[in-house]
Amino acid sequence: MALEFTDANFQSEVLESKTLNVIDFWAEWCGPCRAIGPVIEELSKEYEGRVKIGKVNVDVNPNVSVNFGITSIPAILFIKNGVVVDKQIGAVPKSVLDKKIQSLL
């Protein structure tokens, strides 16, 4: 199950984490976000225990979104040791995200 990251827990859960974090910035009203949601869930199960995979609802958590300059969604950030090491804007096939995760492990 994908984790839920918020303005309140993003610092401790993501930025202070030593593992790779894959964060999906999304919103309820965004069609492409809803399309990629099941892919994020699948990846979270496949990489459980090795990669933290979660979501940030941009409508509910504006601070994190602004801090990372999120202007288009879905936006998927790959964060390692508190630093954005890669990103993907827009809905893409699972294989694209899987390949990015593999390259960063």
**pLDDT, tens digit, 9 for 90 and up, residues 34-53:** 999 999 999 999 999 999 99
pLDDT in tens, 54-92: 999 999 999 999 999 999 999 999 999 999 999 999 999
50 assigned to active site: no
For 6-11, what is the mean pLDDT? 97
Task: Name the residue range of residue 18's domain.
Answer: 3-104
45 assigned to active site: no
- CATH number of domain containing 48: 3.40.30.10
Secondary structure of 40-78 in HEC code, one letter for each residue: HHHHHHHCCCCEEEEEEECCCCHHHHHHCCCCCCCEEEE
Predicted pLDDT of residue 1:
85
Q: Which of 23, 30, 79, 101 is catalytic?
A: 30
Q: pTM for the full model?
A: 0.95
Domain count of the chain? 1
Q: Which of 14, 20, 23, 33 is catalytic?
A: 33
Mapped onto helix, strand or coil, the DSSP state of residue 90 is coil
Predicted pLDDT of residue 31:
96
For 5-15, what is the mean pLDDT? 97
Residue 24 has pLDDT above 90, yes or no: yes
Predicted pLDDT of residue 46:
97
